[in-house]
Amino acid sequence: MKHAISNLAYALIPPVVWNAYLRARGLRQRFPWREFGFMGTTANAEPLFTGRFAELYAKFQPLDPYHSAESTRYTFYNACVFAWLCRAVPGDFLCGGISWGVAARLIYEFVEFSTLGKTLHLVDPFDARTSNGATRRTLEYNSDPLYVRRQYPETAPIIVHCKPIPIELPGRLAFVFLNTGDPQADAKALPSFYAMLSPGGCILLNNYANNIEHYKTALALLDAQAIWQPSGQGLVVKESLAGKAGAASAASALQRSTA
């Protein structure tokens, strides 16, 4: 009952009044309101604003001259964290949808990529189109691949592929970040990227929630699913065959025990 009343009060009281009340009680000083993209929180979001990620974000986010700093802070933080979890998974990393190169550059530094013995594949046609099937071009997208390549040391283990996804690559993949803004292209690329993905590897779909039906259809054909993130992203984790069999066995045992 107490929580229901609190939720009702929060819904009815204008934000400016609510924030003034919290400041008066000193709560905003401890956990100030943080806003990024279309989300906000009063929880302790310190890793987004202080520490290693925050320092890298402050350094590389200005590479994008069009988008505000807070519009991508949360989603790119998730990309860095999930990429970090794939450091020991066999295979290379791939970023699809590069534009100004901020996300890929962050991932490269955050996971200390030069120490991993992997290759980072950057895939983008660099034609400033809003989708593979579109003819319209926009200044918000970068059309110069050299702008991206110059961001890295000359000996950095990266390959820039000036073409749209899907793309066939030799070998395995450990981590894939798709941020093309073209859900149909993402969905079309999922089967080939998923086939190349090593067990334990991840595919992070940056625009999952806004185009969920495109992705669900493709994932269903792969017998895979995306974990819907509060950021609007979808995380696909490839299980091993043994892991799938174990999960199915556990589910069957649970069903028998509750029958």
Range from 6-10, 42-46, 197-201, 238-242 that averages highest in pLDDT: 197-201
Tens-place pLDDT, residues 206-217: 999 988 988 988
Interacting residues of 58 by C-beta distance below 8 A, sequence separation 6+: none
Residue with tokens 């009952």: 1
The CATH classification number of 50-245 equals 3.40.50.150
Please write the tens of the pLDDT for every residue from 76-103: 999 999 999 999 999 999 999 999 999 9
pLDDT at 195 over 50: yes
Whole-angstrom distance, CA of residue 115 vs CA of residue 84: 12
Tens-place pLDDT, residues 25-43: 554 445 555 665 556 666 7
Q: Residues 121-138: what's their mean pLDDT?
A: 76
Domain boundaries of the chain, sorted by first residue: 2-46, 50-245
More confident residue, 254 or 63: 63
Mean pLDDT of the chain: 83
pLDDT at 140 (0 to 100)? 81
Q: What DSSP letter does each residue of 72-111 carry, written as one string?
A: HHHHHHHHHHHHHHTTTSSSEEEEE--TT-HHHHHHHHHT
CA distances from 81 to 14, 75, 207 (A): 35, 10, 17
pLDDT at 254 over 80: no
Residue 141 pLDDT:
87
